[in-house]
């Protein structure tokens, strides 16, 4: 590319082949020379061939000047320029996205949250109605489907739950033994760890495991079915997706959660016992402390909470899947919603239970 003249009248002469690589090389100097020029002539007499990128360069340069003209193009080059010019005219630059008014944005967010909460209430009501209908007509329950989910959400989660529980027990025992040792009260470590695990940490951590493993799986599976229109197909076949897809999952999660919480607690107690043994306390001492200080109510309260956590996690996962949007991100978004929603919900529920149990003296 050769430039002649000044800002009032300038000629840019091109020669050879202007392909995509040449266009990339020439873009900056050409646009710099073209911008602000009053009368720009682009001489194409020496140009043998241009591709679309070359044509975009030449047309953009002509457009950047106050008055730009292309001249001397061969018929073949002219053809590419005409075609590219027509395509550019047919695709005007997109207008910049509208700036979001912060108040409108806040309003939209509030409406979204409100709509989401209403949807959650409606979903819960629908699930309850389906459950009641199934109680009166047990034949409606797809038992084999529920067994499959029991296996996937329960049995297959056992190794992970046991491992996490054991490690949590080890960590809790060590961490509580350090300050208690200062008062010579290490013997109370089993009391602290036992009550923490049975009442709080067992159900809570089992809930986190279920939310991460199962809530996300429910959301992904049902989200894929929604995106693939399988859920619509079920509705058109006269099959209630709540009955076929949601209820077996919710029942499975509700049944399996107390078992996982119990496993988590027992594994934690085992971990604590190992640490106590290393600190010089035999099994008999640990067992004695546990029997003295732990009540059956602690265990049952924890298992009851776990069952409620199971309902919440499964409901949130299923709802996230069934309300998945369109497109490839929909399933990922549904899984994220399920995990985040599941964990937040169990922490909120746990807080409510803490107050409730305190008031009831449990």
Binding site for another protein (CB under 8 A): 19-21, 23-25, 27-28, 31, 51-53, 55-57, 60, 79, 83-84, 86-94, 325-329
Question: Scanning the structure block, which residue is given the tokens 């690589």?
Answer: 21
Of 56 and 346, nearer to another protein (C-beta) is: 56
Of 19 and 350, nearer to another protein (C-beta) is: 19
Beta bridge partners of 68: 40
Of 55 and 312, nearer to another protein (C-beta) is: 55
Distance separating alpha carbons of residues 129 and 136, to the nearest angstrom: 11
Residue 298 tokens, joined: 């602690």
Shortest CB 78 distance to another protein, Å: 12
Give just the sign of the alpha carbon dihedral 227, 233, 238, 241: negative
User: Which has the closest alpha carbon to 317: 240, 205, 204, 212?
Assistant: 212
Shortest CB 88 distance to another protein, Å: 6
Of 96 and 280, nearer to another protein (C-beta) is: 96
Shortest CB 97 distance to another protein, Å: 8
User: Which has the closest alpha carbon to 267: 164, 337, 350, 188?
Assistant: 164
Of 49 and 230, nearer to another protein (C-beta) is: 49
Instruction: From residue 196, give the alpha-carbon distance in Å to each of 17, 55, 164, 168, 348.
Output: 77, 73, 15, 11, 18
Shortest CB 189 distance to another protein, Å: 51
Shortest CB 177 distance to another protein, Å: 50
- Residue 106's CB is within 10 A of a number of other CB atoms, namely 11
């Amino acid at each position: 590319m050769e430039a002649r003249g000044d800002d009032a009248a300038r000629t840019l002469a091109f020669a050879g082949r202007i392909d995509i690589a040449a266009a990339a090389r020439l873009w900056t100097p050409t646009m710099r020379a073209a911008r602000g020029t009053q009368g720009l002539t682009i001489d194409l007499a020496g140009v043998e061939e241009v591709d679309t990128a070359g044509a975009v360069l030449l047309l953009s340069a002509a457009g950047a000047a106050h008055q730009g003209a292309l001249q001397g193009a061969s018929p073949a080059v002219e053809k590419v320029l005409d075609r590219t010019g027509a395509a550019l005219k047919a695709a005007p630059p997109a207008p910049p996205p509208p700036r979001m008014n912060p108040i409108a944005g806040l309003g939209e967010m509030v409406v979204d949250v409100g709509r989401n909460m209403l949807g959650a209430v409606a979903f819960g009501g629908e699930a309850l109605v389906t459950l009641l209908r199934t109680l009166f007509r047990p034949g409606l329950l797809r038992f084999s489907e529920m067994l499959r989910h029991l296996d996937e959400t329960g049995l297959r989660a056992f190794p992970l739950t046991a491992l996490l529980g054991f490690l949590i027990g080890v960590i809790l025992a060590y961490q509580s033994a350090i300050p208690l040792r200062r008062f010579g009260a290490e013997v109370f470590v089993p009391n602290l760890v036992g009550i923490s695990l049975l009442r709080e940490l067992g159900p809570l951590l089992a809930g986190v495991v279920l939310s991460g493993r199962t809530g996300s799986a429910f959301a992904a599976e049902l989200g894929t079915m929604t995106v693939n229109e399988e859920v619509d197909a079920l509705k058109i076949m006269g099959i209630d997706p709540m009955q076929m897809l949601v209820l077996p999952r919710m029942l499975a999660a509700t049944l399996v959660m107390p078992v996982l919480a119990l496993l988590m607690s027992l594994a934690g107690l085992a971990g604590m016992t190992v640490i106590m043994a290393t600190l010089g306390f035999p099994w008999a001492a640990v067992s004695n402390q546990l029997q003295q200080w732990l009540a059956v109510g602690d265990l049952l309260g924890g298992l009851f909470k776990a069952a409620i956590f199971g309902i919440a996690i499964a409901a949130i996962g299923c709802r996230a899947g069934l309300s998945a949007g369109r497109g490839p991100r929909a399933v990922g978004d549904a899984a994220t919603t399920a995990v985040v929603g599941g964990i937040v919900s169990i922490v909120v529920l746990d807080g409510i239970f803490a107050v409730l149990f305190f008031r009831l003296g449990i």
